[in-house]
Structure 1
Amino acid sequence: MTRGGQRKQESYDEVVAGHDPESYKLSYTVGVAENQNSKFRKTMEDVHTYVENFASRLDWGYFGVFDGHAGNQASKWCGSHLHTVLEKKLLGDESEDVREVLNDSFIYADQHVNSDLGGNSGCTAAVGILRWEVPDSVPSEQIELEQHQRMLYTANVGDTRIVLCRNGHSVRLTYDHKASDILEMQRVEAAGGLIMRSRVNGMLAVTRSLGDKFFDSLVVGNPFTTSVEITTTDQFLIIACDGLWDVIEDQEACDSIKDIDDANEAAKKLVRLALEKGTTDNVTVMVIIFENNS
């Protein structure tokens, strides 16, 4: 995983021009499954979105899961609009670090939900952007298809989580922003809030989200961000709300689907497992399987 350094981005579409048509096949497949869990929940407040060939760039991908609370206004807005905000910012300045673009976009979404939407809803969020890049060390006039690196950038607020399965082992790419976390507890208290019963002011279990204007500066929209190069050792990515992670550990989730080749079937299996293990929340699971043999 990398945290620094800039990479120059080149148009993947231009580089693959003239290659065999098979080169145009997506290097990943996406599967999604969800369940309201009506035994415990009267409404479904989760929303998910994915965009193939994101930002009109060949083989890029955008993936997002949003877990709403106090209504679904925030999660629905993010599901419908956050990828558009990100695309505009990415294409506006392609030299900017994608993690900074994610941070700026999350802050924009937080402010928009708080100022322009009715109610006091909020949502946790986990977003991934998959794209091809070329290292700065490669001269533009010498770029070849095999010199592109597949990079994954992630951002999250709250406890919606992204887990990468690398060489059979789980690698968590997100940070659970919970009121039980000592660092988040200190941040909230420094901002004038109280943590009671592992909740912000005794009410909200997460310390970062998009929306939740009732909590003002205590619950913020600044995400945890990462970047990682996706290689042939990476099998798949799981993005899911806490309806899954409350009852299934990261490694257990990876082990449960490691032999499933169909992304939709993998997502369905994880949702079934969460329900069987007694989750009391809405459940949404997105699985992205990397095609590493192309």
Structure 2
Amino acid sequence: IIDFVNISRVAYKCVDFVQLQRMAEYSITTHKGSNPFIRAVAVCEEKNSTWKKNMEDVTIFHEGYGGKEGTSFFGVFDGFHGQISAVTASREMPVLVLEQLSKQDSLLSLEKDQVKLLSRFEALFQKDYNRPYPGQAQNIGLGLGPEQLENLTNMEQVNLAFTTAFWKMDRVLGLGKNETSKIRWSGCTALLCLIDSGLPSSDGKEQGTGQESNTPTPPQELQGGRILIANCGNVHAVLYKQGRGFRLTKDHSTSNPKERKRILQSGGAISVNKQHGLVEGLTEATRGLGHYGDRKLKKSVIPVPYSVSLPTDPSFQMLVLASSGLWEVLDEHAVAERALTVIELTQQKLIVKNLCLMQTVEDSSVSDSQGCIQSRPGSSIFDSEEPSSVKDEDNPPELDMPEPLGVQARDIQNAEETERHQSLVLQQESEVNVKGTMADSLKNLTLDYERLAADICRELVDTALVSGSRENISVMVILLHGLDKDYQSDSATIGCLRQ
């Protein structure tokens, strides 16, 4: 098995791994998580000091989102011209989204401090629209009344929830809290992800029993689970399934012809000092939050997200959420390829470890069985000591006459057959014990999902650095329950190799 260091050197065209480690300044944090659909979460944030003076990305992870068990909320905020917008959005956006989603899901609820926070902004929101439905706001442009809202499909309701939350977040950033620039305030792009495992109850109790259940719910029994994704800007989410990567987000950058057309038709400008140009000569992102102070940039970069909702599936293996620092040098296929490489190497190492362990168990069991055969008293026909004779007065001993040669050979043959039979029985018992021990060993040895998620994070960040990324890099790897299928198939392969 090739170790990760050698693989890195090959993939990075013989770049010195030690030099790469000095160049990277990232830290990795992992979470096991309590969501039954999630195995582990790892987050890696790299400033990329070669090109960036400050770290402007912010990532968030909330468990038990909205007070609902089995619901997790993730966010990646890619800052521009400072970190203030990204920090503010990471703090307020989960509340604004929850306010909208709680209208659709009765199991989601706001806490008292969250309700208090929203009440502080109510006057700000009412200033821009008089009716209680944000669809009347010009920024959203839906123009829907109460009756029309009730007739919306589930996907349309999700889209409206995220659109409203993003619009409100942009209005909050317009207050300019903590901003110091007199020319242009900061801005950010945003990527949000909500994973709802679809647990039947929110209190951790079995329905109809009133007692807590400690047994984890298998993914195939999670009914009504869903994954919600929303992005505004060039930050993306990739779903890993069956060895392939599927991007769940839209590209809101100058490389998107539709976005370029929208900006130019609205009177905006796109410079030509990069491959696809920069909006007003400043940024590649065509959608985002903030950017107050620069009227031209604010007019072109709009806070309108793209959103998608999909039901959870046992075949979903991994989600990768990342800022523009990763996606400017890697696409979803390259990310899936690098992640698959790490997963395969990890599984191969685990297979070798299991094989070595089972070989040790087998050798030990065989040695024990051989010891039992050799130590059985009187089991050998070549014992030198003869049993002592007992005198019988009624039956005096006969004369010591030698037996015919044929009789002696027959006794020796019978003894050999008896010994072979005993040895065969002991060997069969030993094989049964070895197989049982092997099965127990396979059950006890499992993947370290947190470490695997961290390894994938590290691989993606290192690859982005070597590939020439010039932005802050933030990567969030979410290992899902579908990853178990690959591991279980590899465990079955181990059994085949041993037979």
TM-score when normalising by structure 1: 0.83
Residue 216 of structure 1 deviates from its aligned partner by 2.5
Q: Percent identity?
A: 28
Which structure: greater helix fraction? Answer: 2
C-alpha separation between the residues in 1 aligned to 2:238 and 2:89? 21
1:1-294 map, 5 Å: 26-28=36-38, 29-94=40-105, 97-117=157-177, 118=179, 119=181, 120-133=185-198, 146=221, 148-197=223-272, 198-213=277-292, 214=294, 215-258=297-340, 259=343, 261=449, 262-292=452-482
Q: Which residue of 1 aligns with 2:410?
A: none
Residue 116 of structure 1 deviates from its aligned partner by 3.4
- Report the residue type matching 1:206 in the other structure: A
1:165-184, CA deviations, whole angstroms, 9 ceiling, x for partnerless residues? 12111110111111232111
- Report the residue type matching 1:129 in the other structure: L
C-alpha separation between the residues in 1 aligned to 2:90 and 2:323? 14
- Report the residue type matching 1:122 in the other structure: G
Q: Write out the 4+ residue segments of structure 1 that deviate beyond 3 Å after TM superposition.
A: none
C-alpha separation between the residues in 2 aligned to 1:192 and 1:216? 12
Residues 168 and 235 in structure 1, CA contact (< 8 A), matched pair in contact too: no
- Report the residue type matching 2:324 in the other structure: D
Larger Rg: 2
C-alpha separation between the residues in 1 aligned to 2:282 and 2:48? 22
C-alpha separation between the residues in 2 aligned to 1:128 and 1:242? 16
C-alpha separation between the residues in 2 aligned to 1:219 and 1:64? 20
Which structure: greater strand fraction? Answer: 1
**SS in structure 1 opposite 2:49?**
coil
Residue 57 of structure 1 deviates from its aligned partner by 0.9
Residues 68 and 121 in structure 1, CA contact (< 8 A), matched pair in contact too: yes
Residue 205 of structure 1 deviates from its aligned partner by 1.5
Residue 99 of structure 1 deviates from its aligned partner by 2.7
**SS in structure 2 opposite 1:149?**
coil
The range that moved more, 161-170 or 267-276, is 267-276
Residue 160 of structure 1 deviates from its aligned partner by 0.7
- Report the residue type matching 1:264 in the other structure: A
- Report the residue type matching 1:277 in the other structure: S
**SS in structure 1 opposite 2:317?**
strand
| Unaligned ranges ≥5, structure 2 | 1-33, 107-153, 200-206, 209-216, 347-448, 486-499
Residue 219 of structure 1 deviates from its aligned partner by 0.9
Residues 41 and 476 in structure 2, CA contact (< 8 A), matched pair in contact too: yes
| Unaligned ranges ≥5, structure 1 | 1-23, 135-140
Q: Which residue of 2 aligns with 1:138?
A: none
The range that moved more, 185-194 or 49-58, is 185-194
Residues 153 and 227 in structure 1, CA contact (< 8 A), matched pair in contact too: yes
TM-score when normalising by structure 2: 0.50
**SS in structure 2 opposite 1:40?**
coil
Residue 190 of structure 1 deviates from its aligned partner by 2.4
Residue 248 of structure 1 deviates from its aligned partner by 1.7
Residues 32 and 268 in structure 1, CA contact (< 8 A), matched pair in contact too: no
Residues 99 and 154 in structure 1, CA contact (< 8 A), matched pair in contact too: no
